[in-house]
Amino acid sequence: MQYRTIGDIAVSAIGLGAMPLSIEHRPDERQAVATVHAALDAGVTLIDTADSYHWHAGEVGHNELLIARALAAYGGDTSGVLVATKGGRGRPGDGSWTVTGDPEHLKRAAEASAKRLGVDAIGLYQLHKPDPAVPWADSVGALRDLLDAGTIRAAGISNVTTDQIRQAHAILGNGLVSVQNQYSSAVRDSEPELQLSTELGLAFLPWSPLGGISRSSLDGPSGPTSTGTAFHRIAIERGVSPQQIALAWLLTRSPAVIPVPGAGRPGSITDSARAADLALSEAELTRLDHELPG
């Protein structure tokens, strides 16, 4: 397993997006725990969760509790695992998603997340999405307060623009360590945010990193899945999955990139983790870049 850094913490170059383990069509707990354990067995040391990753109303924190139970049940050493969670979104239970960036809500949410995860301080706490009803500086200020209080060790922001990254960096300084936006071979609207994150030394965690190859579970599919692309052809030539090729391609975009593909079964994350050690040639990268949309 190759490693990259989030702040001053070294983590696996491929993380586990744990959302599919708790939302609609989730697996039973036995399979969910087996999926987390398979990730750990494969060398994954970054697990991405959120308090809003649940299905039904009244299940806030379902995924966080699941991750905590899975880590506790693992037979090996988990001291090097970074669990990154998020706050600021909600799920009423009807399939919709809400946004709440109120500072007091975020502080209470972080404290509740820490309790569910069973930690004194959250390793990485991310503001899930800007709330248009709340000034951005106020929401980010809540992260500053959480850092100062020791509730969280590092802060991240998600679904943000370059201006919001700059504002957050000015408020949080070295406390800001990551940006998590949608980014894949099929959806590259966040190219400016990726470039800025790289310049500022922030980790960039693409969500839905397999867009165009596999469907996303969050906010609807990132686009129709495709076949017969250069990603698929190179995968056949290499004898690996197109998902591995897509993740390996993402890793070449910047040393800041740490994809967090979702997984609902052990085989999926085991396959994804192998992408960290898959080196693409210049000729292969040229072929892939030539077929990118836009």
| Tokens found for residue 110 | 């972080």
53 included as an active-site residue: yes
The neighbouring-strand residues paired with 12 are 3
- From 53, 74, 125, 183, active-site residue: 53
Written as six digits, the tokens of 74 are 């693992």
256 phi and psi angles, rounded to 5 deg: -80, -15
CA distances from 205 to 61, 90, 183, 230 (A): 21, 21, 9, 24
Tell me which residue of 289, 264, 285, 282 sits closest to 33, measured CA to CA.
264
From the list 203, 200, 198, 213, the residue with the least C-alpha distance to 245 is: 213
| Distance of alpha carbon 177 from alpha carbon 246, whole angstroms | 24
Cβ-contact 245, 231 below 8 angstroms: yes
What is the per-residue DSSP string for 58-94? Answer: T-TTHHHHHHHHHHHH-SS--TT-EEEEEESEE--SS
Catalytic residue positions, numbered: 53
